[in-house]
Structure 1
């Protein structure tokens, strides 16, 4: 995995991105265009270093608003970003990652829990209040979103179906009977979740700053 803080330093002209990515970016607002080009250029740089390839040789297909994909046999990639940082996960097996600031405010944590969490999860959290509830809802949300990215699913359709274990080491899709291994981590001011098919894949999961 790679993580970097988002900043305005790099101009679009300095980024190594494909012609298709620049064409996609042309239809975005100025701020969204810069974020899109910066994230795709960063992804290409990290993946090129991993595979000892030129950034433009990386077969990355990552339109705006769509999950990024790599052609076989380059593996699997997942991307997440919050207001001030990006996280990318790569593996030879499907992977999902999700990133948020650890201090993200959730003023309606109880309402989010009632709307999107399973009955089992709600029973486990019902006695919590204040920051304890906020932290639990945030952590479970990170795993749920990472699981949906692993699944290549839909936030609208699958968020309510994923049930996160109380230990945060796994999750179960109640509708499709999909089981995944999960891990929560902290890095500086951020918190992120990682989801893969089996726990053994998490043992070699390393975080690089880029």
Structure 2
């Protein structure tokens, strides 16, 4: 193997193996600026995409959008628990403001394309997200994915114009980790692979 190829393989392996979830509460400044975010989305755009449907989109939530999201979180909590206490509602609202950059990932399953069934479209979104996470990791940023019961709520769909045939999937938080984290133990290859 040529030395340049070996170095690229080592860099790739290190990037993948060192990436780990960092919760939004543990992400601070500095955060990626708009030009860097554009680069992260360019990485997402390189995901496998059978039939070139782009079966996903990303919403970068600015201050006004986060205010809307905070009310969505409070409303979703009240729908689950009408007796939620004021401090519980305040905590639900606060979740919308954790982490310096917050992105909503949306699956778009609307296209009538039988040659690219839904599982392929979901996979394309997953690859786009992973590309974004790795591109952020390469630039020194931490990332975390989060979801929750509010993802399927009518309030969230209305607040962010999620159309019929689309599905809000997860939030991606991006920033600089504020604490060190021990590496996660990965499953052994033998536990999930069989050679037939």
- Using the size of structure 2 for normalisation, the TM-score is 0.26
The structure whose Rg is larger is 2
Q: Which has the higher contact order (CA 8 A, sep 6+)?
A: 2
Q: Which is richer in strand?
A: 1
- Using the size of structure 1 for normalisation, the TM-score is 0.25
Q: Which is richer in helix?
A: 2
